[in-house]
């Protein structure tokens, strides 16, 4: 896919892997929209020239609000990068609220956003969905069962979605981050 003159939405694009993805896409000629929760990180992203939208996609309502804010914009690349660990260990209690938030952000949010943006992506000449997973989806680690499980689920979903989109102009990719 040619990246020049394409518009990309990068969730969790204000720091870490997401910010680097945004920088790389910009360097290749894409127009990049990043979203995140923290005002300071959004301001910093704007100083780098990114369009930055405040969005909390850790809920279905947050995903819908982001999609509504961009409803009139042609999106060519949806980069689902936002995530959180929600880790716990054998001597720590399982925080169910944190677990639910991690499951939603890491697994459900990408699915919700794909659901919102896929009709528009299918109308584009070329489009791509990139779901950032992790090597931990394949080789989980102790202390991170929620994170590892959600990334494994997203990896599997991405492979199935790729098969479903095989006869369209939209494609999917998984990007396994190795920084974990």
Instruction: Give catalytic residue positions.
Output: 147
Q: Which residue has the tokens 């090597």?
A: 135
For 130, phi then psi, to 5°, come to: -115, 120
Gyration radius (Cα) of the chain, Å: 16
Q: What is the distance of C-alpha 104 from the center of its chain?
A: 12
Q: Which residue has the tokens 């890491």?
A: 106
CA distances from 19 to 15, 57, 87, 114 (A): 5, 17, 23, 20
Asked whether the CA dihedral 81, 83, 89, 94 is positive or negative, the reply is: negative
């Amino acid at each position: 896919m040619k990246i020049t003159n394409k518009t990309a939405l990068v969730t969790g694009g204000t720091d870490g892997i997401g910010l680097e993805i945004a920088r790389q896409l910009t360097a290749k000629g894409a127009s990049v929209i990043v979203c995140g929760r923290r005002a300071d990180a959004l301001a910093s992203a704007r100083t780098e020239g990114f369009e930055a939208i405040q969005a909390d996609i850790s809920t279905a309502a947050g995903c819908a609000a982001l999609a509504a804010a961009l409803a009139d914009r042609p999106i060519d690349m949806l980069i689902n990068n936002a995530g959180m660990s929600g880790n716990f260990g054998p001597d720590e209690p399982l925080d169910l609220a944190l677990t639910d938030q991690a499951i939603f952000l890491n697994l459900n949010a990408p699915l919700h956003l794909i659901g919102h943006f896929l009709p528009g992506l299918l109308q584009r000449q070329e489009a791509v969905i990139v779901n950032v997973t992790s090597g931990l989806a394949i080789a989980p680690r102790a202390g991170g069962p929620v994170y590892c499980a959600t990334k494994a689920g997203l990896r599997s979903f991405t492979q199935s979605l790729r098969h479903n989109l095989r006869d369209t102009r939209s494609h999917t990719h998984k990007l396994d981050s190795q920084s974990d």
